[in-house]
């Protein structure tokens, strides 16, 4: 194989991944727990971008429950965003060996 062709392909891949990284900022998923009283939204870069709490879950006597609900909603959101990324970009990223995809 011609080394110049390989370099051209590498540059094309680099451009594609740059575009994907920008698109991932716009991909979002919301996870919930406690019957939708806690909602956590993450983006495709796995950053939390929003948390919504129903006032009923804010009990100063049971902070541990609220913490558990936030963690559960976060896990739900992460599973959803990973699935979204996998379905949208899986064919492109399939051979890259990226954990979780």
**For the segment 15-66, what is each residue's pLDDT rounded down to a tens digit?**
877 888 888 889 999 999 999 999 999 999 899 999 999 999 999 999 999 9
DSSP letter at 84 equals H
What tokens appear for 19 in the block? 């575009």
Instruction: Count other Cβ atoms within 10 Å, centred on residue 89.
Output: 20
- What's the pTM? 0.74
Instruction: Count other Cβ atoms within 10 Å, centred on residue 91.
Output: 9
Which one of 5-9, 74-78, 84-88 scores highest in mean pLDDT?
74-78
Reported confidence tier of residue 78, pLDDT bands at 50, 70, 90: very high
Reported confidence tier of residue 8, pLDDT bands at 50, 70, 90: confident
What domains can be seen in the chain, in order of their start residue?
Answer: 3-96 (3.30.1310.10)
Decide: 32 and 73 in contact? Cβ < 8 Å. yes
């Amino acid at each position: 194989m011609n080394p110049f062709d390989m370099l051209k392909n590498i540059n094309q891949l680099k451009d594609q991944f740059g575009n994907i990284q920008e698109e991932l900022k716009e991909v979002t998923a919301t996870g919930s727990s406690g019957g939708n009283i806690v909602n956590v939204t993450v983006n495709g870069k796995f950053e939390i971008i929003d948390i919504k709490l129903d006032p009923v879950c804010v009990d100063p006597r049971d902070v541990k429950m609220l913490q558990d609900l936030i963690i559960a909603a976060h896990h739900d959101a992460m599973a959803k965003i990973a699935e979204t990324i996998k379905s949208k970009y899986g064919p492109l990223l399939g051979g890259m060996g990226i954990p979780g995809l």
